[in-house]
Structure 1
């Protein structure tokens, strides 16, 4: 930049010289004055400034002189990195629900089986509904003696929970004979049914029913009403020598009784243990295909509304 400014100054000087009027290169000076002794003085002649000097003195500063410049603004080049995420509010994460899945549950209408040695147990997890009875019927083989128990909650990790009283239990039959357990949950939620081998070794088949779910072997499943002093009788035929199961559940606080009679009217078994509002259950083991009478009555002769279930296992 300084070189450019100097060139501009020199150019201005040359232009000034060209525009100056024509005049002699030098002006004759008068003779130098002499002193009294006839000697010339030696003072140097004064030279008037030329227009070139004036131009040099008055030449304005070139506009191309160095001036402070601002640093250029750097624009970042695009990159492949994604832009930073904007600080948006994160949606709250809801905790997973603890509702059971169908795969983990033993449901009404299903059956299962396993082998047990004395002292061993097997647990089933069910989804109970308040005041809706479920019926577990277990058929052991050989001399296996089983006991049944029901617990509130998921107790599958310990099939004989310490310090917990089961709301329902059954250990009445002899070795090799079926056991039946009825659970009427007092609240909705998970419950655990446990099959325990009290003695002997063998296999078993477990069947689960309720009063409203269709299932294989269900012969009768309906609501009904008893008038005061009346009885209801249902005729059912077994499937060969397979068990016949009867369940009656009052929908009010009636105290009902359940009887199973032979075709000739002979009383074979009766159930009247649960008291007012309680479920009554009974089963029988036929020797072959047999027709039975299942009778429902009110123990005190009063009226009653109830749900009846009769199963003839296949």
Structure 2
């Protein structure tokens, strides 16, 4: 049974592959699996008492000693579908996997969690992000969250140009095709009574020269400028004109570290817009499970190595 193991909880994922490759080069034992692999190829027995958590987790090829796990790296794990069960039994079984296997992993003592799932969940709420960023001293564009039509229209009119952002990236289907709601410029005349259905986030639009994706791993900061003509560069990667490695403004790296500490995160992907007039880096958001693999490939930045450093520290 393997000891001093790094558990990598993920499905088929090229970004996770980069981190695992770094760990393999350092001869660090790795056990890779997905929550969705239960019960097909994952078996778990966890004991609680002395030691606080003991037992083992076994995959098709390896077995880890739960009392001696070094770190857990969560990379967008998925739950099993249980398609052979009735809808009610499938729902029950998914919850048991999430709170059973997922709960055991989150409870492992003395190991680094990147990121701890409960802390990551707390950090995903955009209103909490905005409040923390403002308190810490980031430049945050004027923002409102509301389901009152009059207040939304007044805010948009006062800003001159505003954007709408979803508060959460929900799974959205049109027929068999997955859809994404991108950041969009809005005018007051576009808003109607349907806004009352649920809270909406509106924000002053930054007159930007470019965007910046900042990946912070522990205390290591990687900044990449993204030049794109789109309001939301993620909408069409083919229109991105260039990626450039840049240095953050003086003092920003310390603010980023303080932000991660505020939420108990080991890493995060931050998005900023660079003001076209005075170069201010305007805060947009922090994704505590953000994507960075393609950016490392585009720029050659050693982000995977930084993750390996973090996991074996």
**TM-score range normalised by the length of the shorter chain:** under 0.3
Q: Output the TM-score relative to the length of structure 1.
A: 0.22
Which of structures 1 and 2 has the bigger CA Rg? Answer: 1
Q: Going by fraction, where is strand more abundant, 1 or 2?
A: 1
Q: Output the TM-score relative to the length of structure 2.
A: 0.22
Q: Going by fraction, where is helix more abundant, 1 or 2?
A: 2
